[in-house]
Structure 1
Amino acid sequence: MTDPTTGHSADRPAAAATPLAGRRRVAAGRRPSPVLLVPACAAALLAVLPLGYLAVRALERGPAYAWDVIADDRTALLLGHSLGLTAAVVLGCLVLGVSLAWLTVRTALPGARIWSVLVTLPLAVPSYVAAFTWLSAAPGLAGFTGSALTLTLVSFPYVYLPVAAALRRTDPAQEEVSRSLGHGRMRTFLRVTLPQLRPAAAGGGLLVALYVLSDFGAVSLMRYDTFTRGIYTSYRASFDRTPAAALSAVLVLMTVALVAAETRTRGRAGHARTGTGTARPAEPAPLGRLRLPALGWCGAVVALAVGFPLATLGYWLAVGNSATWDPGTLADTSLTTLGTAAAGAALTTLLALPVGVIAARHRGRGARLLEQAAYAGHALPGITVALALVFFAVRYARPLYQELPLLVCAYAVLFLPVAAAATRAAVLQAPPVLEDVARSLGRSPLAVLRTVTVPLAAPGVAAGAALTFVVCMKELPATLLLRPTGMDTLATRLWTETGAGSFAAAAPYAAALILLAAVPSYLLGRHRT
């Protein structure tokens, strides 16, 4: 057995650990340098700012007023809509994700590798783009049905990816024992395989639930009232921001409850091999007469999730002309989107670097607290983060209100965990002994960071920056609230044109957004393979 802290056999005496392992432990125990600690604390403070805003703003007019907002009938309606939509989408994603993972990983499905790529492509389609395509083709879908359909089709890969990975890691020996005892394939799947997939499926379901609760674009275009749309409407309808803050606080509590519930579903049970060696690959199960239905199922899902949006965009592009959309405006909006996303990715990566290095190289309560604080924005919808920054700018930094730096800061709060996780993983793969050698030669902490740590972790940091760039391009609610007056991105322009029913005018912006997001996504995929 391997000790995860040293990478050596647990049966080997402690004295036999190599000097490299010893240096790794020393590096982990050393207190962070101020060169890292100061910017990391600044990043953490920026990330927790929205939580402080909610506490101050929601109680600004007293707990009684906040409770009246929360206890209002409309709040109960928003709660029912949000929970119902979340339950429907999570259930649909579990069915799609688990079935597709089983077909592509554990069966003799023709073209399984190609299908495994195709079923991940919906991640590149923003929810509001998918909503636009469905709404333009079938206006009657507006409401719960259209929202559930759209969000299910764009988010089921969040379940598919972890379940497929779990199936590849699962030892098939237990399934073979079950089959040898006379159990059929279906009973073996339900009694043996499915329990081993529960943690992966629950984790994917949690991601889907958080995505649905924070989604603004799809439900707004489908005109279905959830908390995010209710918060935006409350913000736009009144100068009193307390109702919007109170609704945001309820939404945050819902996300915390979901995370806690998912943690409880994991339990303490685990499924691990106790023998030596590695698990052999599972023998693909023959499909027999189910071969054509299985191909039809995969084809239908890909056609609805990817083919239909692309075909609809193609139709509206063919229908549109210079009278419905202006190529010059499209080019200017595309450049603005690229510049804004690049600025957001640059600031986010810069703030994530010290957080990721401290998380990878240091232990202790302070380092854990710093990392958890930096991840606070991950549980907050974009509209809540935007409201917090509006409040902060109006009260304490008036010149920043509706200026580009404030929007870039919102991107940093929302997507700091994306860049920090990539940085942490990259730094963990770099040998810390090289940093120790540089320090022993008299290099300052800043010089070690600049000449040793960053170059070694550069590929992983760049991958995190590319992913951050993509999600910044697609972000909608924070951009709507914080963009400078007169500035449009592809996301906001699409939202505006679709809201006005100008589908032909919206199509070029949707197509340009997918095209621009596809380039870094492709490069990121090549890097990870």
Structure 2
Amino acid sequence: MTSATDTMVSASPRHRLPTASSWTLMIAVLVAVLALMPLGFVLWATVVTGWETAIQLIFRGRVGDLLINTVLLILLTLPVCAALAVALAWATERTDIPGARFWSWMAVAPLTVPAFVHSYAWIGLWPGLNGLGAGVAVSVVAYFPFMYLPVSAAFRLLDPALEDQAASLGLAPFAVFRRVVLPQLRLALCGGALLIGLHLLAEYGLFAMIRFDTFTTAIIDQFQSTYNGVAAYMLALVLVLCCFVLLGLEAALRGRSRYARLGSGVARRAKVARLGAWKYPLLILPLVTAAFSLGIPALTLGRWLIAGGAGIWRMEEIGLALWQTLAICLVGGLTTTAAAVPIAWLSVRRPTRASRFLEGCYYLASSMPGVVVALALVTITVRAILPLYQTVATIVLAYVVMFLPRALVSLRASIAQVPVELEQAAASLGRSPGNALWSTTVRLAAPGAAAGVALSSLGIMNELTATQMLAPNGTRTLAMAFWALTSEIDYAGAAPYALLMVVFSMPLTWLLHHQSKKIAGR
């Protein structure tokens, strides 16, 4: 008779997990191939154009101007976002300022406002606002929460014993922060900077509204005004090279230092700094941040809603746009998060050069502007798989390509907190590799998956260019309706659509904020 021990040995994780890893790797490779199709299309267009023509189009004055604009935008925006995120995270997580939890939510709430609605709000108050300064200002208030979220989570996870030891050696509080705390925030800062940088490379609506030229706005102008697809593809190729540089810089700054502690560390939270009378002046920081990132959009929307009156609420059109937006956000968010599961699992459980390469492919693909992704998919479907042209499947694939990193970042952090021994135990009990993965890691990583769905759905709700080109006939999302009306200078008519985008983004943003605290153990 076979003993229970023999049964467990025959189904040991040594036999089960490699199979699970192989299947997971195959799925991850398939997703990467699909995600890289737009990039392959751009490279194909470059080869078809011919190297002589391509070089002429790339090395011209216009490309140099766009490159300077893009580099300056990133170099000016990222440090401001980093300083603001660290200051707000320290104030809300490590001090006794009144209403710390409320201000923590206020630091995330700007994600409820689409980036192009931020521009709409600012030019509503200052119609002449334009150029690099405007681009940096609006980008900071629109995107700094992407850096605040990982930094605040890192503050909650830091081992306070390290700070206590540094203080016992005679270091002043600021020296402790600079030499002990800040280096441990490097991973969070690099991850947030990468996300913001990728958004800056691919953003269109924000910069088009304030008339600041970037590669993405120039690409769309080429297609819409001159129909010069060849020149646009060459600009897209330069944009991809910029993403390569950004990925390389992030990897270099992240380094190979070890950040995990050995053992459980100190089982207590870090001491909260008692600021005394200084806690009220410190409130100026979150107050001013909230005023610029939330107060200005609220003021502009309120003004246009009042000016437009009841006539701007065309309920039949608004209701259709709302229903289509919610449906496409749900389908796209779930699909994107499911597609991110294999590489998130591999990056945590099987961190190899192959998994890091695949992860880099996902980030690279997401840097492609929506119009390039859309044009690539349009060409591929028309020439090879015509039945998929302008279908839900094609537009969902575009969302997966563009928003995979959002789901990946959340899933990876959540899977890392699930002990691998649970998968091994499930496999030793005779479960198949997929069943063992589903019943342990996937279920326990549900908070991260929920955050991934929320963050992906936020991006989908605000996406504009790819949706316009790929959506089935008759589709009209809130973003599409808003942009159509603002293009006609009907700012009052666009206000209800902007308001609904903000209102329905709030639950997703709250879920993201809640899950980030839950993942960090608070």
Shorter-chain TM-score tier: 0.7 to 0.9
Letter in 2 for 1:29: P
Counterparts of 1:254-403 in structure 2 under 5 Å? 254-270=242-258, 277-278=265-266, 280-349=268-337, 351-352=339-340, 373=361, 376-403=364-391
Equivalent residue, structure 2, for 1:27: 16
Return the match for 1:233 from 210, 216, 221: 221
Letter in 2 for 1:166: A
Displacement after TM superposition at 1:356 (Å):
5.5
Displacement after TM superposition at 1:47 (Å):
0.9
- How many angstroms apart in 1 are the aligned matches of 2:34 and 2:285? 45
Counterparts of 1:106-505 in structure 2 under 5 Å? 106-172=94-160, 175=163, 184-270=172-258, 277-278=265-266, 280-349=268-337, 351-352=339-340, 373=361, 376-419=364-407, 429=418, 431-433=422-424, 435-436=426-427, 439=430, 461=449, 463-505=451-493
- How many angstroms apart in 1 are the aligned matches of 2:350 and 2:184? 33
Indicate whether 1:78 and 2:69 are aligned. no
- How many angstroms apart in 2 are the aligned matches of 1:337 and 1:32? 36
Displacement after TM superposition at 1:67 (Å):
1.3
- How many angstroms apart in 1 are the aligned matches of 2:265 and 2:466? 50
- How many angstroms apart in 1 are the aligned matches of 2:164 and 2:120? 47
Conserved 8 A contact 2:85-2:145: yes
Larger RCO (alpha carbons 8 Å, 6+ apart): 2
Displacement after TM superposition at 1:515 (Å):
1.5
Unmatched tracts of structure 1, length 5 or more: 1-18
Going from structure 1 to structure 2, the CA distance change for 1:31 and 1:128 (only over 3 Å counts) comes to same
Equivalent residue, structure 2, for 1:49: 37
Displacement after TM superposition at 1:422 (Å):
5.5
Conserved 8 A contact 1:202-1:265: yes
Conserved 8 A contact 1:122-1:153: yes
- How many angstroms apart in 2 are the aligned matches of 1:145 and 1:86? 12
Displacement after TM superposition at 1:331 (Å):
0.9
Letter in 1 for 2:467: T
Equivalent residue, structure 2, for 1:67: 55
Deviations 1:448-496 (A, max 9, x none): 7888887676665455334433322221222233234553211122122
40-49 vs 174-183, which deviates more?
174-183
Displacement after TM superposition at 1:314 (Å):
2.2
Equivalent residue, structure 2, for 1:6: none
Going from structure 1 to structure 2, the CA distance change for 1:460 and 1:95 (only over 3 Å counts) comes to closer
- SS, match of residue 401 in structure 2: helix
Conserved 8 A contact 1:29-1:362: no
Displacement after TM superposition at 1:275 (Å):
8.1
Q: CA RMSD in A?
A: 3.5
Conserved 8 A contact 2:381-2:387: yes
Equivalent residue, structure 2, for 1:12: none
Letter in 2 for 1:432: E
Letter in 2 for 1:30: T
- How many angstroms apart in 1 are the aligned matches of 2:345 and 2:166? 46
Deviations 1:29-71 (A, max 9, x none): 236576x676555423211111211111123211121111111
- Name the % identity: 37
- How many angstroms apart in 2 are the aligned matches of 1:367 and 1:262? 17
- How many angstroms apart in 2 are the aligned matches of 1:447 and 1:155? 38
The count of residues paired between Structure 1 and Structure 2 equals 506
Going from structure 1 to structure 2, the CA distance change for 1:375 and 1:435 (only over 3 Å counts) comes to farther
- SS, match of residue 140 in structure 1: coil
Going from structure 1 to structure 2, the CA distance change for 1:126 and 1:291 (only over 3 Å counts) comes to same
Going from structure 1 to structure 2, the CA distance change for 1:473 and 1:438 (only over 3 Å counts) comes to farther
Letter in 2 for 1:116: S
- How many angstroms apart in 1 are the aligned matches of 2:194 and 2:344? 24
- How many angstroms apart in 2 are the aligned matches of 1:277 and 1:486? 57
Going from structure 1 to structure 2, the CA distance change for 1:193 and 1:218 (only over 3 Å counts) comes to same
Q: TM-score, normalised by structure 2?
A: 0.84
257-266 vs 503-512, which deviates more?
257-266
Going from structure 1 to structure 2, the CA distance change for 1:118 and 1:423 (only over 3 Å counts) comes to closer
Conserved 8 A contact 1:175-1:192: yes
- How many angstroms apart in 2 are the aligned matches of 1:251 and 1:499? 26
- How many angstroms apart in 1 are the aligned matches of 2:267 and 2:428? 39
Equivalent residue, structure 1, for 2:3: none
Displacement after TM superposition at 1:294 (Å):
0.6
Displacement after TM superposition at 1:172 (Å):
4.5
Letter in 2 for 1:522: W
Letter in 1 for 2:427: D
Going from structure 1 to structure 2, the CA distance change for 1:263 and 1:359 (only over 3 Å counts) comes to closer
Unmatched tracts of structure 2, length 5 or more: 1-7
Deviations 1:343-385 (A, max 9, x none): 3234435544555666677677766666655555233332332
Going from structure 1 to structure 2, the CA distance change for 1:395 and 1:257 (only over 3 Å counts) comes to same
Displacement after TM superposition at 1:295 (Å):
0.8
Conserved 8 A contact 2:321-2:478: yes
Displacement after TM superposition at 1:196 (Å):
3.7
515-524 vs 345-354, which deviates more?
345-354
Q: TM-score, normalised by structure 1?
A: 0.83
